[in-house]
Chain A
Amino acid sequence: MATTTVKTETFVGKRIRRREDPRLITGTATYVEDIQMPGMHYAMILRSPHAAARIRSINTKPAEAAPGVVCVFTGKDTKGVGVVPCGVAMPDLRVPQHTILATDRVYFVGHPVAVVVARDRYLARDAADLIEVDYEVLPAVADPEKALAKGAPAVHPQWPDNIAFTYHQDGGNIDKAFAEADVVVKQRIVSQRLVPMAMETRGVVAEWRGADRQLNLYTSTQIPHLVRTLVAGMLGLEENRMRVIAPEVGGGFGSKLNVYAEEALMGFVSTRIQKPVKWIESRRENFTCTIHGRGHVDYYEVAAKRDGTILGIKLKLIQDVGAYHQLLTPLIPQLSVLMMPGIYNTQNIRADIVGVFTNCVPTDAYRGAGRPEATHGIERMVDVLAAELKMDPAEIRFKNFVTKDKFPYATATGLMYDSGDYAAPLRKALDLVGYVKLRLEQADLRKQRKYMGIGISTYGEICAIGPSPATPAGGWESATVKIDPTGKVTILTGTCPHGQGEETTFAQIAADELGVGLDDILVIRGDTAVVQYGIGTFGSRATAVGGTAVYYALQDLKAKIKKFGAMLLESDDVTLIGGQVVDNKTGKSTTLQEIARASYRALKLPPNTEPGLIATRFWEPPNFTFPFGAHIVVTDIDGETGQIKIRRYVAVDDCGNILNPLIVDGQVHGGVAQGLGQALWEQAVYDDDGQLTTGELMDYALPRAHLMPWIESHHTCTPSPVNPLGVKGVGEAGTIGCSPAVVNSVVDALAPLGVRHIDMPLTPEKIWKVLAAKH
């Protein structure tokens, strides 16, 4: 025991480089594909080339006879395995039996039909070609609006209308709002189908240890514990006999917030062959059998006063479901409805969702999940209304914002916005971009018949998902913090970071609370045998919910550390500071290491205190958090070619307190990149036969680095009262704020030609056609 100087360096709020990056950028991280095991076999999945067909017969014999092949399984063999789960319960939801392999019919191109298992992946691949499937091809439908039309082919014969579910929500008095309106604007707005495109495709290694009655499942997932619960159920295995490990996960964007057929299928195969088996999804497979995002056709009507006051919003939302419900499919458009008033003070809404089956791969959560669609809708409609009323798009927004004295603010859709100052980011963004000057320049350019546009989007979003009653699987998050006898700190989190950087941010939180260095802290996630239980990483929740669980576990642990410190110092008045417990009276101190050792050695214990330093908390958030912001995009359009050039991209995001500005920048940049992808280039296209015609990166225009504009990222800070960290979440903000700002900018540029709306993606071809038609 000694009197020493205390460490005062703090980490929260600083630009700390991500501790996970060295292994990620040096190729030394371990992904599912990197896992090798003795006796490992390889699986290749044969998939349907047809969007709709009856399977007359499958002949697997030639494949079974191929060199190296151990066995081939079809839907007949896997009948005992449970169906791929849909986690959403709602009245009248039609849930087709989603078996892990097709049985008598296939419903989309990419539908798994058989699995070949061989001792070598190339032999498995070659053998899959030898399987003879006799298909009776049936008519297919790939467009949700065509699927709703009379006489359309039925995706599932038992539901000839192709309706998967309907959902209605009313708030306030919508009929009165529309009756009192001076003006009503209407617009059809499409949020196209997108491919989430994680850099690492999906992959599964299943290892059945017969002697231990234990299934180890390595899978590239955002939700290892939910996968364990649900896949154990599908396989009829006791959950405690299954261990799910998500090693390094190379991106997910929602596409790995799911339970897939292949996870159960590999478990099934491994138990059958009594050997480990690996399946790695190819990029081409990824296009056709991992969930897609978006897929909305929205019909908006907005009622307003002549002065720009929005009175009410109506929305008819057609959601392209695809052939099946994946884990959260029916929930995604409901998130759009929750968000449909945006950050505007209107208490009258009406929403009608119809979910439609199509012969396409299912849609589900993709970065933003329902909120980008809603934000795109309302932000486009506000601009359409401004154009109708000949008002400035910034002015009409200021007029309708929920003002900062109104928080907490109850929305017409049933949410309670936690905190906000919506005018602040817009004011800041307008200043940063030089709005007044730009409008003058625009007027000059218009005289020269040049197309320059300024697009504003002021978004709000739902983060920190979420309170358990509002989620299908529980919305809390867990953390264990333990200090070893040598004084080193380990955090076990139930979140499953896969690019969000919580190995760094959680360490920052713990380092400051305990007064230790970042290198003294290890953050472990993604292993159900090690981590208590957890919900996972999605919905911008990991820091706001998972980080809060870490924070509260640290508070428990600190209390215990102080008890041991007080005992060692024989004091009743101590402070924990800088990794030491200090006697406030004498100034004597004892280190965390000394306390840790004493707590495990347990020669003496404080009253009513158990040995060891470990604390676990499961934190249930009382509400979502609601970040917001303003994005302004300035575009120049080439009148000859339709090429759009982004001159300025100003993002002012308010995500509450910022724990690590470097990581927040990264999240904004990545989010904006994906928002630009949707706004300008990306689109998953199915032809009328249900063939995906954008099935590779040559045809699916994923943004490349050289296409990115310089993103001027700024912030305002309105802390959340929902959690003690005051954080809101920022993982999806960029994507949500981006696409309407871009489209508003381009429509603004083309406004002199009478253009009011253009659907994404704004390819040069599309813009050129608009220009050609107007000239």
Chain B
Amino acid sequence: MKISGSYTLPVAPERAYQILQDPAVLAQAMPGCEGLEQIGPNEYRMKMNVILAALSGKFEGKVRIADAVPPTSFRLIVEGSGRIGFLKGDGLLKLSLANTNPSVSTVVSYEGDAHVGGTLAAVGQRLIDGTSKMMLKKFFDKLVSLAH
């Protein structure tokens, strides 16, 4: 499944880039995140509680950052599995200075591929698209509140 979209953060690209890679900030911003622990350079272990309509369950996985080009882009690779299935995602995030706003802000655009499997795929297929969009919106909304 393809995922893409964009979001505007009301901070300069350098600051946006920094918070997008700050485990403490990310852990707070990611919906359902119950822990993010650094296990290597640019690699984190993540615990997450996912709720998708009638399905809910804990996921354990890894988040990895690759191809980092501060402050303009990086790749985010997520892998997790739990009792309701597994998910894998690989996305490219691009940051650019928004020039339409009077104050400084950054457009974060993302484009990637997501795969789900197991019960999550069998039962939740209809809901994944909407839920992932909702979760991303929650994530960025929270990020805005943490950015200042």
Binding site for B on A (CB under 8 A): 49-51, 109, 129, 284, 287-288, 687, 689, 691-696, 698-699
A271 CB, min distance to chain B CBs, angstroms:
29
Alpha-carbon separation in the docked complex, A50 to B81 (Å): 11
Pick the interface stretch among B5-13, B95-103, B121-129. Answer: B121-129
Query: Within 8 Å of chain A (Cβ to Cβ): is B112?
Result: no
Main SS at interface, chain A: loop
With A109-B117, A689-B115 as given contacts, are A696 and B85 in contact (CB-CB < 8 Å)? no
User: Are A49's CB and B125's CB within 8 A?
Assistant: no
User: Are B126's CB and A284's CB within 8 A?
Assistant: no
Chain A residues with CB under 8 Å of B118's CB are 49-50, 109, 691
User: Are B121's CB and A692's CB within 8 A?
Assistant: yes
7 A-B residue pairs with Cβ-Cβ distance under 8 Å, sorted by A, are A49-B85, A49-B86, A109-B117, A288-B122, A691-B116, A695-B121, A699-B126
Chain B residues with CB under 8 Å of A129's CB are 83
User: Are A50's CB and B117's CB within 8 A?
Assistant: yes
B14 CB, min distance to chain A CBs, angstroms:
37
Instruction: Name 18 extra pairs, CB < 8 A, besides A50-B117, A698-B126, A699-B125.
Output: A49-B85, A49-B86, A49-B118, A51-B117, A109-B117, A109-B122, A284-B119, A284-B123, A287-B122, A689-B115, A691-B117, A691-B122, A693-B122, A694-B122, A694-B125, A695-B123, A698-B123, A699-B126
Alpha-carbon separation in the docked complex, A687 to B113 (Å): 14
Chain B residues with CB under 8 Å of A50's CB are 86, 117-118
B131 CB, min distance to chain A CBs, angstroms:
15
Binding site for A on B (CB under 8 A): 81, 83, 85-86, 115-119, 121-123, 125-126
Closest-by-CB residue of A relative to B81 is A49
User: Are B122's CB and A696's CB within 8 A?
Assistant: yes
Closest-by-CB residue of B relative to A288 is B122
Main SS at interface, chain B: mixed
Alpha-carbon separation in the docked complex, A287 to B83 (Å): 18
Closest-by-CB residue of B relative to A126 is B83
B58 CB, min distance to chain A CBs, angstroms:
9
With A49-B117, A50-B117, A109-B117 as given contacts, are A692 and B122 in contact (CB-CB < 8 Å)? yes
Alpha-carbon separation in the docked complex, A689 to B125 (Å): 13
A277 CB, min distance to chain B CBs, angstroms:
22
Alpha-carbon separation in the docked complex, A75 to B81 (Å): 22
With A49-B81, A49-B85, A49-B86 as given contacts, are A689 and B117 in contact (CB-CB < 8 Å)? yes
Chain A residues with CB under 8 Å of B119's CB are 49, 284, 695
User: Are B126's CB and A687's CB within 8 A?
Assistant: no
User: Are A693's CB and B121's CB within 8 A?
Assistant: yes
Chain B residues with CB under 8 Å of A49's CB are 81, 85-86, 117-119
Chain B residues with CB under 8 Å of A699's CB are 123, 125-126
A757 CB, min distance to chain B CBs, angstroms:
28
Alpha-carbon separation in the docked complex, A288 to B117 (Å): 12
Of B81, B83, B85, B121, which contacts A687 at CB under 8 A? Answer: B121
A602 CB, min distance to chain B CBs, angstroms:
64
A428 CB, min distance to chain B CBs, angstroms:
44
User: Are A695's CB and B115's CB within 8 A?
Assistant: no
A666 CB, min distance to chain B CBs, angstroms:
32
Chain A residues with CB under 8 Å of B117's CB are 49-51, 109, 689, 691
Chain B residues with CB under 8 Å of A696's CB are 122-123
Closest-by-CB residue of A relative to B82 is A129
User: Are A284's CB and B115's CB within 8 A?
Assistant: no
Closest-by-CB residue of B relative to A131 is B83
Alpha-carbon separation in the docked complex, A129 to B58 (Å): 10
B121 CB, min distance to chain A CBs, angstroms:
4
Q: Which 4 A-B pairs have the closest CB atoms?
A: A695-B122, A49-B118, A691-B121, A129-B83
